[in-house]
Structure 1
C-alpha cells in the first residue's frame, strides 16, 4: 500500500512522459496492486482471510453501529446487528490469541527505514519531491505541449 500511495503522489503522477516509458507489463502489475489495495468496501480486497488487519476490522464497527437500527419494527431487538458486531470482536480476539513468530531481518528493516529517516519532516519532504519532479520533467508551455501531442498522435 505504501508503494502504491507513493507512486500516486502528485510529484510522481505528474511525470506523464516518464509514465509513458514504463512498459505495459509493469503498468499491468501496478494496476493489479492498485486494485488489491482499493479502499472501496472497507478495503475488502485488501483483507485476506489469513492475515489479521485489525485497523480494517475496527473501521467496520461504525458501519455496523450506524448502518443498522438497534430495534426492528414492533420493538424487536435487531439481533443481526449485534451478531455482526460480535463476529468482528471475536475475530479480533482470535487473531490476538494467535502467536505470530515474526523475526526481524535487519537487512530488510534497514533497507526500508534508511530512506524513510531521510524524510522525517513531511512539508519539507513534500516540497523537495515536487522540486525533484519539476527537475525531471519541467512544465511544458501550452503551445509546446499541444505541438508535442499533435505530433505524437500523428496529426502533424
Structure 2
C-alpha cells in the first residue's frame, strides 16, 4: 500500500477562532489507539469542546470527541478520553510559562494527517469579550464592502 502524502484535514474548530484571539500556534503529534486512527481516517472527529492541559510537564488533549470505530470490537476506544500530545520539552516549558504568566488558554484549532501521521494544531489564545467579537465582525464586514466597491470601480460600474 502506498504511503499517504500531503495534508488531509479531518476536523477544524471554527468556533475557537471566533471566541478567542489567537496569539501563537503549535503543531503536536498525538498518542492514539488503532481504532481512533481508523475513525479519524473516516473523517470523524469534533474539536468543539476541546482544550489542552499541561500536567507534570506533559501536554494532554481533553474533550475532543473521536467516535468509536463502527467495525471495532472489544478493542474500541472511549470517545472522549484524554490523549497525550507529543511536543518537545522546550515547547512544553515555553507554553506552560506563557499560560501561567499571561492567563492564556490552549485550544485545539485543527486535526489532520501529515504524511500519514495524525497531528493537532493547538493555539495559545486569549478569550474575547462580547464587544471584541462585534468589532471583529464589523471589521470583516467593512473589508468585504471595501473589496466589493473596489471591484465595482475596476469594472467601471457605478456605486
TM over 0.5: no
Relative to total residues, which structure has the larger helix share, 1 or 2? 1
Higher relative contact order (CA 8 A, sep 6+): 2
The structure that has the greater radius of gyration is 1
Relative to total residues, which structure has the larger strand share, 1 or 2? 2
